[in-house]
Amino acid sequence: MTLSKGDEPIPKFGRAYRKDFSLESSYIPVNHGSFGTFPHVVKEQLRKYQDECELQPDRWYRYEKELHLKRNLDCISRLIHCDAKDLAFVQNSSQAANTVLRSYPFKKGDKIICLQTAYVNVEKTLLYIRDKYGVQLLPIELNYPLEDEEVVQKIREVIEAEHAKIGEPKIIMGVIDAICSAPGVRLPFESIASLLKQHNILSLIDGAHVLGQIEIDIEALDPDFFFTNCHKWLYTPRGCTILYVAKRNQGYIHPTTINFAYEHHKDGAITSTFNLELSPPTIDCSNYLCVETALKYRESIGGEEKIRQYTHDIAVKGGQLVAEMLGTRVMENSTKTLTASMVNVELPHFETSKIQNGQVAPYIIKKLVYEHNMTALIYENNGKYWIRLSGQIYVDLNDFKAVGEALLSIIQELNK
């Protein structure tokens, strides 16, 4: 990788960038959205912190790591425009969702809006709090592709219908995605957050795929709760996720593992223990300390905007290419808002009777991994099978072409 400094031209992204990462050179890495990966410079920094810690673990855990944590939270706060005091590191998006959903003081009967496209762990956490606390879930079906206004309208209809009911509990929270996982589409989350706010409904925004993929301005969005992975699109090691909690709710939120700083607060606006309660426990938290290095690397190769431009552009072009090869279509709407840096392509009709019910997607994924040295998410949506492909700085059209060829070969085999 050639660092671009000063007036040097930004190098064209693509396969050449793969050497900055640890990926096997023969691997076709079109599934960054699932587990992400991180460049060598980040790995070096990670190990530097880990080595430093083991020189004297007490000194590190008791005194030294705090300054590093603070500096890294500051980096994020500048990137997403909010007070660093409203942020905490957690390990992954599921933990962020659990932090909020399991500690928020729901009462029996409270209603929560959620989307059918919610990430499975978030969906199951909602079922857990339904079973444990007796909240009522109002799932909203979203059969993609959809226009942005259709999505907002479906949610508006549910709110209006529920709030028209006399003597029933109101909707207390809406759990929505910024970018869903399957299908990998961008939602009009700004409009939805604003709709929720108009109706005094708390917003919990799953932004797992946001950081590094699309711009976000927390101050402008003003969500109640928001979380986003750093270990996917921002290139930190796994797991490293940011949880934002608005000051008005911090008193209600306790970590998934209660620590020394726990205090019960009757008022959500009591912020006194939030930062201590949400401070990292005794684990190796060096992952959290790599935000700064990941951002520096991103800056060195052109910066956030250039990266976003490329990963979006290659997703759009790559998706189009695969759809053409398969004779199908990309999942898009009339205003082209669905594709950020993940693109979804419909699979052509194929024979599935040989494979056990529910095993079609895992079957194809395993074939992709072990026979074609690539991975991509395969999922059912609206009665059809789709593939989700990720743009990234280290992929180019040749990678998407290889995916198209692999899929044609697998489908031909299935149809035999």
* Binding interface with its own copies (CB under 8 A): 21-24, 27, 31, 34-38, 43, 47, 51, 54-59, 61-63, 91-92, 94-95, 98, 102, 120-121, 124-125, 127-128, 131, 237-239, 254, 256-262, 264, 281-284, 287, 365-366, 369-370, 373, 375
Question: Shortest distance, CB of residue 383 to its own copies, whole angstroms?
Answer: 22
Pairing label, strands 342-346, 384-390: antiparallel
Structure tokens at 350: 């194929």
Q: Which residue blocks in 222-263 are alpha helix, DSSP H?
A: none
Question: Shortest distance, CB of residue 83 to its own copies, whole angstroms?
Answer: 26
Task: Look up tokens 């699979």; give the residue.
Answer: 347
Three-state DSSP at 239 gives coil
Question: Shortest distance, CB of residue 92 to its own copies, whole angstroms?
Answer: 5
Structure tokens at 187: 């939602």
Q: Which residue blocks in 87-181 are alpha helix, DSSP H?
A: 93-103, 120-133, 148-164
Angle, helices 397-415/360-372, rounded to nearest 10 degrees: 120
Closer of 90 and 171 to its own copies (Cβ)? 90
Angle, helices 189-198/148-164, rounded to nearest 10 degrees: 20
Closer of 31 and 250 to its own copies (Cβ)? 31
Question: Shortest distance, CB of residue 360 to its own copies, whole angstroms?
Answer: 16
Closer of 34 and 191 to its own copies (Cβ)? 34
Closer of 100 and 152 to its own copies (Cβ)? 100
Closer of 265 and 401 to its own copies (Cβ)? 265
Question: Shortest distance, CB of residue 46 to its own copies, whole angstroms?
Answer: 9
Closer of 53 and 192 to its own copies (Cβ)? 53
Closer of 81 and 264 to its own copies (Cβ)? 264
Long-range contacts of 331-335 (CB under 8 A, 24+ apart): 331/144, 331/145, 331/183, 331/185, 331/381, 331/386, 332/145, 333/145, 333/146, 333/147, 333/148, 334/147, 335/147, 335/148
Question: Shortest distance, CB of residue 202 to its own copies, whole angstroms?
Answer: 19
Question: Shortest distance, CB of residue 237 to its own copies, whole angstroms?
Answer: 6
Instruction: Answer yes or no: are the C-beta atoms of 192 and 131 closer than 8 Å.
Output: no
Question: Rounded to a whole number, what is the distance in angstroms from the first to the last CA of the chain?
Answer: 44
Q: By C-alpha distance, which of 271, 293, 407 is closest to 350? A: 407
The residues with which 87 forms a beta bridge, in sequence order, are 244
Question: Shortest distance, CB of residue 327 to its own copies, whole angstroms?
Answer: 27
Closer of 124 and 384 to its own copies (Cβ)? 124
| DSSP string for 344-371 | EEEPPP---TTS-TT-HHHHHHHHHHHH
